[in-house]
Amino acid sequence: MLLRHTPKEITERSALMINPAKTCQPIGAMYAALGIHGCLPHSHGSQGCCAYHRSTLTRHYKEPVSAATSSFTEGSSVFGGQANMLQAIENIFAVYNPVIIAAHTTCLSETIGDDLKQIRKKAITEGKIPEGKYMISASTPSYVGSHVTGFSTMVKSMAGLAENTGKKNGKVNIIPGWVEPSDMEEIKRLTKMIGVKTIMFPDTSGVLNGPLSGEYKMFPDGGTTVEELISAGDSIGTLALGEWCSAAAARELDTKNKVPCQVLDMPFGLKATDRFIDALRIIAGVSVPDELSLERGQLVDMISDMHQYLYHKKVALVGDPDQLIAMTEFLVSIDMCPIHIVTGTPGKEFERRIKEITKDMPFAVNVRAKGDMFLLHQWIKNEPVDLLIGNTYCKYIARDEDIPLVRWGFPILDRQGHQYFPTVGYKGALRLLEKILGVLLDRKDRDDPESKFELVL
Amino acid sequence: MLLRHTPKEITERSALMINPAKTCQPIGAMYAALGIHGCLPHSHGSQGCCAYHRSTLTRHYKEPVSAATSSFTEGSSVFGGQANMLQAIENIFAVYNPVIIAAHTTCLSETIGDDLKQIRKKAITEGKIPEGKYMISASTPSYVGSHVTGFSTMVKSMAGLAENTGKKNGKVNIIPGWVEPSDMEEIKRLTKMIGVKTIMFPDTSGVLNGPLSGEYKMFPDGGTTVEELISAGDSIGTLALGEWCSAAAARELDTKNKVPCQVLDMPFGLKATDRFIDALRIIAGVSVPDELSLERGQLVDMISDMHQYLYHKKVALVGDPDQLIAMTEFLVSIDMCPIHIVTGTPGKEFERRIKEITKDMPFAVNVRAKGDMFLLHQWIKNEPVDLLIGNTYCKYIARDEDIPLVRWGFPILDRQGHQYFPTVGYKGALRLLEKILGVLLDRKDRDDPESKFELVL
Amino acid sequence: MATTTKKKIVQWDPAHVKAELLAKYPSKVARKRSKQIMINEALGNETPEIMANVRTTPGIITMRGCTYAGCKGVIMGPTRDIVNIVHGPVGCSFFAWLTRRNQTNAGTDGENYMNYCFSTDMQDSDIIFGGEKKLEKAIQEAYDLFHPRSIAVFATCPVGLIGDDIHTVTRRMKEKFGDCNVYAFSCEGYKGVSQSAGHHIANNQVFRHIVGENDEEKPGKYKINLLGEYNIGGDGFEIDRIFKKCGITNIATFSGNSTYDQFASAHKADLSAVMCHRSINYVADMLETKYGIPWIKVNFIGADATAKSLRKIAHYFGDQEFIDRVEEVIAEEMPKVLAVRTDVRTRTEGKTAMIFVGGSRAHHYQELFNEMGMRVISAGYEFGHRDDYEGRQVIPDLKVDADSRNIEELEVEADETRFNPRKSAEEIKALEDAGYKFKQYDGLAPDMENGTLIIDDLNQYEAEKLVELMKPDIFCAGIKEKYSIQKLGVPMKQLHSYDSGGPYAGFEGAINFYQEIDRLVNSKVWSYMKAPWQENPQLSATYGWE
Amino acid sequence: MATTTKKKIVQWDPAHVKAELLAKYPSKVARKRSKQIMINEALGNETPEIMANVRTTPGIITMRGCTYAGCKGVIMGPTRDIVNIVHGPVGCSFFAWLTRRNQTNAGTDGENYMNYCFSTDMQDSDIIFGGEKKLEKAIQEAYDLFHPRSIAVFATCPVGLIGDDIHTVTRRMKEKFGDCNVYAFSCEGYKGVSQSAGHHIANNQVFRHIVGENDEEKPGKYKINLLGEYNIGGDGFEIDRIFKKCGITNIATFSGNSTYDQFASAHKADLSAVMCHRSINYVADMLETKYGIPWIKVNFIGADATAKSLRKIAHYFGDQEFIDRVEEVIAEEMPKVLAVRTDVRTRTEGKTAMIFVGGSRAHHYQELFNEMGMRVISAGYEFGHRDDYEGRQVIPDLKVDADSRNIEELEVEADETRFNPRKSAEEIKALEDAGYKFKQYDGLAPDMENGTLIIDDLNQYEAEKLVELMKPDIFCAGIKEKYSIQKLGVPMKQLHSYDSGGPYAGFEGAINFYQEIDRLVNSKVWSYMKAPWQENPQLSATYGWE
């Protein structure tokens, strides 16, 4: 057994986290920052943070991930990191010449009380930020919230760039939340189909799913431009996808720039996508193109065609709140039964949403915010499931307990596809269905007795 | 064992085919016919043929497949099926009112010498084919060629509708060959991206991947219109994808309508897609949009990222000639080694192409046209492979020999996705890569000793 | 409980529905179809006449298959240790390859050719110069590779037309091999009007070439044959489980998961129990005529029907000990069945169904729907004959037409050495006087409500209309019909191959079926037909920004 | 063969390359970097001086990690039976979770915590009110759940800043448990200038808290410790295979696939063999000072180097029988190595490589490339010190700066009871006179060609420039660098975690490495960079219709 020391019997733990279902804020801030065109993320702390975040994002995307660090030394930890940060700003613009630096703090710089906003002001007055270049910052102490919080905070800082010219731009801001580059591309395809002009931020498509063409672009072609971020203040409204990932930025635009917003679930699965599309067409005042209704119908068709393999199958889920809420709704909507659901990100509201979505399920649900994968594993040992959905770390549970696994979430370190094929929208839901059915039917083909081995499924 | 009676020792067989790698012409003709908008395929033979073809296509697509039959009786087999056919034509237009009937023969009607062209003439003179309605026919004796031949023959009959007005329409005819509806959709996306106006036939997209919406359209919205088929005679050129599936129709247009043609391999994999796109942009006289070069670059990127899991892996392939030629080239191009390759469709040229593509491979290749899956299985027993690619029937070999299987080809009766997600083009190749890597890495995760179990792949 | 649903009033006017079905047809077609669409007025045994087992009209999209399908696919397909070589172009064999879900297990002898597909893959040269040589070679190659107990050859359309003498070839090979029984079936697709002719051709040859070949005594106290059970989705496995529990020895199943030897020993049984009346009743007759084995109609579809059939078998043998054992088994099995039934019924009560399959399934499955409190509002057979609708009493006056004339009827007589009436005339009479019914089948009509529609050889156009007009909660037919029905938002259950489910026979089967139908009629997916913007297309004036 | 390649003339002017690398920097940065970029002129032992082990300039995208990574990730991570609790916010523990490919097997005792990740998941309240209570509780919870032999605690940045006294907490818990050794590492990320400080902190604590804890005699005739081998991709498994074959007993590996007890018994070995000089040479010194165990530098990367190292170990012990056995093993292993080498060399001869990793790997792996006939044209360390470049002779004049000052240096002296010089001064001298070298390491520079570039703490910008200017056939570094290099069309091999391969140590490892490099430099994919329309954009006039 890979996780040979995990006992079935569950004992309460209040201090020791084992096999976390979350990581810390800064990596979220870094991922978000990569969604701005020409942006160099900067980690204000020791070298290690930056190295770890870059490594993890690189393993997840198999793409280069550039980010700078303040390279704190013991000295700077005592006397403050301002000098390092100012030096970094100077070197970054001299050597890498980004359009914008998106800096975030770490537990280190937060603990010693460094204030990036103030340092930025100093840099500006000292002329360390060249004409037409930008810097934004986010306070992302690792000991608060999770990687999701860090993402949300950095996205909120992007909203900070928004300005009001007094003239509306007729566009809708879309804040997609922490989804894959392929998902962001898909959201753009959908909005384009419906005919809504949008400003989407962040946008990592074209940044973290780049080509191999013999040239290395430190700043790839993709990403939301600073101009778009500035213009976001003139948009007619904002659709924020995901309370945890995107609501803060949307509300910032609402209060700061008077851009009204609506917070929706992330468009994973049939119903959440329905709500997203319906919201879009109402904003745009257009009718949904048949082409899109067709994609929806194809999804419904596949659900009906394969329903017998999904019906009342038990599922264990681990991931981040916004994603899990939408996924849980999707699974319930296709008559599957998500019975164990864990996120590492704190928030009671999460448990409330999940309980509400699963209330009519034939089985009771175990749900835990601020849980860990050790607990999830113990739940599974006590009530086995037919399917496990989560990040790569789930493979250790999947192999020990012999459970089919669909990799979904962050990080995925051992499979490819998430960069290129979306799971949002109707087509994305089709892909999720294909993956779920794939592992369930592979298992059936593996385990059926020879006399019941099926040609047609 | 599922195939418990298959011996490792190979003995030559000249009369008994076991576990065929092909089926008969009529089903190909029926599938092709479904790619015409408003078309009702018609099987001129006994009821059984039609029932079998509809059932198989239905199981493959999980969609309704309508087709009529002449319902031969013993009497008609003796006295000829003309009366049945004429009656059928009358009833079909009365009850189902299609735009066009695409009739094909069977071994029965061919053996007794029924001539559909002549029957069609008679129907016209007798006014059984209403104004503005059409009928085409194909001679598809089951005892010649294979389902591929039947497909090709019916597509050629479509070309028969083409007319010359003397004025070119500025379009390019694209004959995609026997690919999935999703593939045809993808080919349209690619041509549109490049900016080439096309007439593609047949086109089963929107026909065999329809929505579930509460209404049943016997004739779905998709398919090439008869008007387009007629206009194909005015096109500036024809690109035929696949020598076996599409060349005949292309050459028919060339000789009959003086529309020049070029026969390319089916665009599966990097190189074949390169040739297809290059041909298109040259015809259109445009430069390829960066968007498409990006898709290509993403494919190359993923090949390089995951190359270590592909390198020198042995593969067994079974399917149809055009598909296998392109797939073999793709596998060789990513440093995999297809060592056993079988098609059921006759044609020495197939073996020549395969040998040429695999000539620099580190292992010798076993290739057989007019082979069967029994032989493939025996080859595998004698030289095991790391991967098997083929239709659903391969699962019996895969389970017995414990080989990872990627389902690709026709028919796929036990998995979903082929209707919705293309495998042609660069994105399609990405999907193929994802699937190949998926099964190879699942196997690695299953078999690695615990001490070598990998988090990051 | 079933009665309560019976009381419900039918919501539509059957005459109107019938008229609607016929409206669009050319008059000639309409005339014919009107005879095949019967508004049920069954009262006891008087049933109005229906036209059945007649040609399908060319061009009308039928559910039917061909004679080859009935012979190779249905009857011989399920037999596991015979190498079935299809003589013809590759298609016929390919399409019948593993597509019917008739399950087999290799058993102790380890013989199982179920997963293989054998064909002579006829080429044009064979059509021109004849295929006998190739067939002979193919048989030889099969023999050399597998040394099977038996090899069967099936003719496809061209074989009959070019005149290959497959019976001579097979006889010659049988003699040559000595240890392998080889025989052929002239089941060309163009024969007859449906699969039904194929069943007949298959069963005749089985009776002629195999039955009676093994005279070894078989152990067992209560020995029966189970006729017309094809082990779709494991039905036969469940029935055998129950038989075993009851102490019944099943000598031969025709033909689910059967072996050559089972057929060869069928004459050793003391009773023939007939499931699918359509496909095999004549074999039951022949077994009685030639060997003196009486037969009864049984039905293991439906838990109550299963109990009834078991009792009927027990009473035939008459031993109190056996009768008691059967009662014990029923008492043991029924509680879990009833538990599930009661639960499921809360969700299925009063819902409506349509069944268009087979043979006998369109009749048998009404048992299960009734057990769930569901009403079958229309039904019919794909390849039934009048007696399957109206009962065996009509058999004498069935007319033989051009299509049925050439389907061989075996002439059998009592076997000189082996005829042995299992019950004396007196015993038979005594049982009958006590209300016991031998070789009786009343057909489907009497079991259906008045005013329901009974339709023979339903076609795609009529199916769609029926669903539109009568809006059933579930529709049962075959794979070809499945998705056109479901596109209308009505769940469709295959009752040929069961889609992916089963077994549905016996007690376990009833539970499976209840749950499967519950799943289908209550799946959330049927509520997703329309998108929000389709349900209310108008744009809400006040768009709810936060 | 290696010599032949040595002869080749370098294609570029190193001074020009160096100038190019510095051109874009602000003058302050340029000044500093120019001291860390050395044009090699190594002749024997005179090497020009390089600046190393100094701070990375803020804002310059470095390959380096932090002290915590060096302590927890590199040194303690590979030990399988110690529960490693990271005290801090969740990230530090999460990111070090299974990402280094240091393999372990649970062995007979079945203890293996490698796949687990333990964290105190510090929250803001802990930062404000202190985290000692939570740490104590976490240790208790770990003990109650697993009852491990030992629990280690690692400090992350905030811990030092808020002043949690982790050493007191661990001491208290150790005393409380009695049967579980608990200790802590003050490896806050901001300490030192790279992972190197973390190695030091880790090794000091291992030496202080574990080494010498178990005085049981260990069986074995030729007992050694293997220092600085981390079993990446199974390197240690391969080395142990060879040791076993030679009859060498490996008492303790620091720290690949190691156990608590191995560390505790390290003082029972008779020789310390040092692989990674950088991360552990000081432990070798301490083992000698305190217990009298001499040490030698070895290298098992490269088949020839492996043979050389085995002979060196054999000669230390001096038994002819042992020396012969080692020769047998080498004779047994080399043929397959040479067979593969010869084949692969036909495709790799003359190709060029760059290596920027580690510690010592940037040096060791040159052995393997040389064996393949490949030339290393530029190399450097990520966290090396001057002695790793120039040799141990420079150690005395290394300056201690603000960053290194606070990295503890243990003061050790001979253990009163257990100090036991394994060789007498005379024996040592005799060996040395015979050319035997104890605790000697000459560094990387002497082994590199003149005119090659040796660069310390290479950063992303310089890496890209180097590849542009010198166009190597392969580049070796870590995961962060992998894809930016490959985007340029140059294959990139990770030599920290080996990507997915390994083992590369020993004889089997050499074969694996030859084949892996062969695969990388000869993969077809590098020829696909450009599409046909990019290779010849002009439209061919005559479009080839058939």
What are residue C475's DSSP bridge partners? C354, C492
- Rounded-to-integer distance, Cα D225 and Cα D322, Å: 17
Catalytic position from the list D64, D100, D364, D386: D100
Distance from the Cα of residue B156 to its chain's centroid: 15
Q: How close does chain A come to D272, measured CA to CA in Å?
A: 31
Distance CA A288, CA A286 (A): 6
| ipTM given for this complex | 0.97
Quick check: D532 contacting B, CB < 8 Å? yes
Q: For position C2, what pLDDT does the model report?
A: 34
Mean pLDDT within C101-130: 96
**Percentage above 90 pLDDT, chain C:** 92
Q: Is the pLDDT of residue D226 over 50?
A: yes
D535 CB within 8 Å of a chain B CB: no
Residue B208 tokens, joined: 């065999």
**Tokens standing for residue C209:** 């070439």
Beta bridge partner(s), residue C355: C379, C476
Below-50 pLDDT ranges, chain A: none
Contact pairs from chain A to chain D, CB under 8 Å: 270
Instruction: Indicate which of B235, B304, B433 best probes the interface with D, i.e. most D CBs within 10 Å of its own CB.
Output: B304
Which residues pair with residue C248 across a beta bridge?
C222
**Given a contact as 3+ CB pairs under 8 Å, which chains touch C?**
A, B
Reduced to 3 states, what is the DSSP secondary structure of residue C184?
strand
Chain centroid to Cα A420, Å, comes to 15
Pick the closest to residue D156 from A111, A17, A13, A140 (CA basis): A111
DSSP string, A193-204: HHT--EEESS--
Residues facing residue A368 across a β-bridge: A342
Residue D422's Cα: distance from chain center in Å?
A: 28
Do residues B279 and B264 touch, judged by C-beta distance below 8 A? yes
Q: Which residues of A touch B420 (CB under 8 A)?
A: 298, 302, 427, 430, 434
Q: Confirm if C193 and C185 have CB atoms less than 8 A apart.
A: no
Among candidates A17, A51, A214 on the partner chain, residue whose Cβ is nearest the Cβ of D119 = A17
Distance CA(D452)–CA(D468), nearest Å, equals 16
Chain B residues lying within 8 Å of A298, measured CB to CB: 209-212, 419-420
Q: Is D197 helix (H, G, I), strand (E, B) or coil?
A: helix
Cβ(B106)–Cβ(B49) under 8 Å? yes
Predicted pLDDT of residue A284: 80
Q: Is A226 helix (H, G, I), strand (E, B) or coil?
A: helix
Q: Report the residue from D491, D543, D546 with minimal CB separation from B283.
A: D543
Q: D388 to chain A, minimum CA–CA distance in Å? A: 22
Contacts of A421 in chain B (CB under 8 A): 430-431, 434
What does the pLDDT read at residue D406?
87
For chain A, list the contacting chains (3+ Cβ pairs, <8 Å): B, C, D
Closest residue in chain A to residue C489, using alpha carbons only: A304
Nearest CA in chain B to D540: B282
Q: Chain A within 8 Å of C494 (Cβ-Cβ)? A: no
D496 is catalytic: no
Active site annotation includes D199: yes
Cβ separation A451–C234 shorter than 8 A: yes
Asked about D392 being catalytic, the answer comes back as: no
Which residue of C lies nearest to A426 if distances are taken between CA atoms?
Answer: C531
What is the SS3 assignment for C139? Answer: helix
Query: For C43-52, what is the mean pLDDT?
Result: 76
- From residue D441, alpha-carbon distances to C539, D312, D363, D364 in Å are 79, 14, 11, 12
What kind and span of H or E run contains D454?
Answer: strand D453-455
* Cα dist from D192 to A49, A113, D201, whole Å: 15, 21, 10
Interval B351-409: pLDDT, tens = 999 999 999 999 999 999 999 999 999 999 999 999 999 999 999 999 999 999 999 99
Least confident of C123-132, C401-410, D419-428: C401-410
Pairs of CB atoms within 8 A across B/C: 268
A41 upstream amide cis, omega within 30 of 0? no
Catalytic residue among C2, C30, C55, C100: C100
Residues near C105 by Cβ (< 8 Å), separated by ≥ 6? A449, A450, A451, C80, C112, C257
Burial of A256 (0-12, 13-18, 19+ CB in 10 A): middle
Residue in this structure with the two tokens 């086995």, named with its chain if needed: A384
pLDDT band at D47 (very low <50, low <70, confident <90, very high): low
Both tokens of C522, joined, read 């209550």
Q: Which residues pair with C118 in a beta bridge?
A: B18, C85
Calculate ∠ Cα B269-B273-B276, nearest 5°.
Answer: 155
In sequence order, what DSSP letters do the residues of C78-121 get, joined into one string?
Answer: T-SSEEEEEESSHHHHHHTSS-S-B----TTTT---TT--EE--
Mean pLDDT of chain B: 97
Band (C173; pLDDT cuts 50, 70, 90): very high
What is the predicted pLDDT for the residue at C544? 52
Q: Which of C64, C199, C267, C277 is catalytic?
A: C199
Q: Which amino acid is at B66?
A: S
Query: Residues 6 or more apart from B338 whose CB is under 8 A from it?
Result: B314, B315, B316, B317, B327, B328, B331, B332, B358, B361, B365
- Print burial letters for B396-433: b (CB count within 10 Å at least 16), e (below 16): bbbbbbebbbbbbbbbbbbbbbbbbbbbbbbbbbbbbb
Measure the CA–CA gap between B89 and C26, rounded to whole angstroms: 12
CA distance B282 to C378: 61
Name the catalytic one among C42, C52, C66, C276. Answer: C66
Contact between B24 and C56 using a beta-carbon 8 Å cutoff: no
Question: Which residues of chain C make contact with B72, given a CB cutoff of 8 A?
Answer: 189-190
CB atoms within 10 A of CB C311: 14
What pTM does this model have?
0.97
Q: Is C in contact with D (3 or more beta carbon pairs below 8 Å)?
A: no
The token pair that represents A141 in the structure block? 């102490």
Of D69, D155, D303, D445, catalytic: D69
Interface touch B288/D533, C-beta < 8 Å? yes
Centre a 10 Å sphere on the Cβ of residue A133 and count the other Cβ atoms it contains: 17
What tokens does D81 get?
Answer: 């039976």
| Other CB atoms within 10 A of residue C540 CB | 9
How many Å separate Cα A189 from the centre of its chain?
A: 19
Interface contact flag, C487 B210, Cβ < 8 Å: yes
Rounded CA-CA distance D267/D413 in Å is 14
| pLDDT (0 to 100) of residue D9 | 45
- Beta bridge pairs of residue C182: C151
pLDDT tens digits, residue range C285-332?
999 999 999 999 999 999 999 999 999 999 999 999 999 999 999 999
Question: Residue C6's pLDDT band (boundaries 50, 70, 90)?
Answer: very low
Could you report the per-residue pLDDT of C417-460, keeping only the tens digit for each? 999 999 999 999 999 999 999 999 999 999 999 999 999 999 99
Q: How far is D256 from chain B (nearest CA, A)?
A: 12
Q: What are phi and psi of B242, to 5 degrees?
A: 105, 115
Is B23 in contact with C94 (Cβ distance < 8 A)? Answer: yes
Distance of CA B60 to the CA centre of its chain: 12
pLDDT tier, D45 (very low <50, low <70, confident <90, very high otherwise): low
The C-alpha atoms of residue C438 and residue C294 are separated, in whole angstroms, by 7
Q: Is A49 within 8 Å of D461 when comparing Cβ atoms? A: no
Rounded to 5°, the CA angle D506-D508-D513 comes to 90
Could you tell me which chain C residue has the CA closest to the CA of B91?
C59
User: How large is the average pLDDT for residues C227-242?
Assistant: 98
Q: Which of D68, D161, D162 sits opposite A48 (nearest CB)?
A: D68
pLDDT in tens, B301-321: 999 999 999 999 999 999 999
Partner B, chain C 170-199, Cβ-Cβ below 8 Å: 188-194
State percent of chain C over pLDDT 70: 96
Contact A20 D93 (CB under 8 A): yes
Exactly one of D64, D199, D209, D361 is catalytic; which is it?
A: D199
The pLDDT value recorded for residue C121 is 98
Query: Which chains are within 8 Å of B by 3+ CB pairs?
Result: A, C, D
**3-class secondary structure, A7:** coil
Which candidate, C452, C362, D113, places its Cα nearest to that of A374? Answer: D113
CA closest to D158 among chain A residues: A108
Contacts of C528 in chain A (CB under 8 A): 270, 300, 303, 333
Q: Name all chains with 3 or more CB-CB pairs below 8 Å to chain D.
A: A, B
Q: Is D297 helix (H, G, I), strand (E, B) or coil?
A: strand
Here the tokens at position C379 are 């039904």
Distance CA B409, CA D298 (A): 56
Quick check: C16 contacting B, CB < 8 Å?
Answer: no
- The secondary structure of chain B, three-state, reads CCCCCCCCCCCCCCCCEECECCCCHHHHHHHHHCCECCEEEEEECCHHHHHHHHHHHHHHHCCCCCCEECCCCHHHHHHCCHHHHHHHHHHHHHHCCCCEEEEEECHHHHHCCCCHHHHHHHHHHCCCCCCCCEEEEECCCCCCCCHHHHHHHHHHHHHCCCCCCCCCCCCEEEECCCCCHHHHHHHHHHHHHHCCCEEECCCCCCCCCCCCCCCCCCCCCCCECHHHHHHHHHCCEEEEECHHHHHHHHHHHHHHHCCCEEEECCCCCHHHHHHHHHHHHHHHCCCCCHHHHHHHHHHHHHHHHHHHHHCCCEEEEEECHHHHHHHHHHHHHCCCEEEEEEECCCCHHHHHHHHHHCCCCCCCCEEECCCEHHHHHHHHHHCCCCEEEECCCHHHHHHHHCCCEEECCCCCCCCCCCCCCCCCHHHHHHHHHHHHHHHHHHHHHHHCCHHHCCCCC
* Chain A residues near residue B59 by CB distance under 8 angstroms: 456
Q: How confident is the model at residue D232 (pLDDT cuts 50, 70, 90)?
A: very high
CA atoms within 13 A on the CB side of C371: 30
HSE-up of B200 (CA within 13 Å, CB side)? 25
- C-alpha C144/C-alpha C162 separation (Å) is 28
C2 classed as catalytic = no
Burial of C453 (0-12, 13-18, 19+ CB in 10 A): buried
List b or e across C411-428, with b for residues whose CB sees 16 or more CB atoms inside 10 angstroms.
ebeeeeeeeeebbeeeee
Residue A300: which of B211, B434, B457 has the nearest Cβ?
B211
